[in-house]
């Protein structure tokens, strides 16, 4: 089982439009065709993903399972628990049920500091896996987990006062 992780920079002035696109997607998913048939899936065009594709900047593709970022979040406690001062990630989750985490400038800086302060050495990763009953993942997960933490830091470093960082894992 795997998940895709994507990171977007959303112009701050367009967050309301993004929420509107999420609402349009949600409505399209429940609207009956001719009053009785479920909507045809996948939605074409999908209002939310069309908006994200055309109005945001997607950063480099994440080469691993998105679940690896959840491991980074468990390892570097609190990194994925923020949702920006405007709560964009929470609002998108409430509307769509999709996993979004948003980062304003302050949250991004704090998350980078937490990752910097976290020991991602092979020994610490092994101990973490043992604590969580996942010893079979060692040593194969060490390099990808270290790389995932560096990529997340690089993504977070791109957040500015004019742009909100938006992480999607799903």
Predicted confidence (pLDDT) per residue in 133-152, tens digit:
999 999 999 999 999 999 99
Arithmetic mean of pLDDT, 105-117: 95
Arithmetic mean of pLDDT, 9-15: 96
Domain residues of the chain, as ranges?
5-169
Q: Look at residue 42 in the predicted model and tell me its pLDDT.
A: 59
Asked if pLDDT for residue 116 goes beyond 70, the answer is yes
Q: Look at residue 166 in the predicted model and tell me its pLDDT.
A: 96
Q: Look at residue 78 in the predicted model and tell me its pLDDT.
A: 87
Predicted confidence band of residue 35 (pLDDT cuts 50, 70, 90): low
pLDDT averaged over the chain? Answer: 89
* One-character DSSP codes across 80-119: TS--TTT-HHHHHHHHH--EEEEE-HHHHHHHHHHHHHS-
Q: With pLDDT > 90 as the criterion, what percentage of the chain qualifies?
A: 76
Predicted confidence (pLDDT) per residue in 44-88, tens digit:
678 999 999 999 999 988 999 999 999 999 999 989 986 666 789
């Amino acid at each position: 089982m795997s998940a895709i992780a994507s990171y977007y920079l959303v112009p701050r002035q367009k967050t309301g439009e993004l929420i509107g696109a999420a609402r349009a997607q949600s409505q399209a998913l429940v609207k009956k065709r001719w009053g009785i048939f479920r909507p045809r899936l996948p939605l074409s065009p999908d209002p939310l993903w069309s908006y994200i594709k055309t109005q945001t900047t997607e950063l480099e593709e994440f080469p691993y399972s998105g679940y690896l970022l959840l491991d980074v979040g468990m390892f570097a406690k609190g990194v994925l628990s923020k949702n920006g001062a405007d709560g964009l990630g929470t609002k998108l989750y409430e509307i769509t049920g999709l996993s979004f985490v948003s980062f304003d400038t302050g949250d991004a800086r704090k998350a980078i500091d937490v990752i910097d302060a976290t020991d991602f050495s092979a020994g610490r990763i092994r101990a973490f896996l043992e604590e969580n009953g996942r010893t079979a993942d060692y040593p194969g997960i060490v390099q990808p987990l270290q790389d995932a933490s560096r990529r997340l830091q690089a993504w977070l470093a791109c957040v500015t006062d004019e742009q909100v960082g938006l992480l999607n894992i799903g």
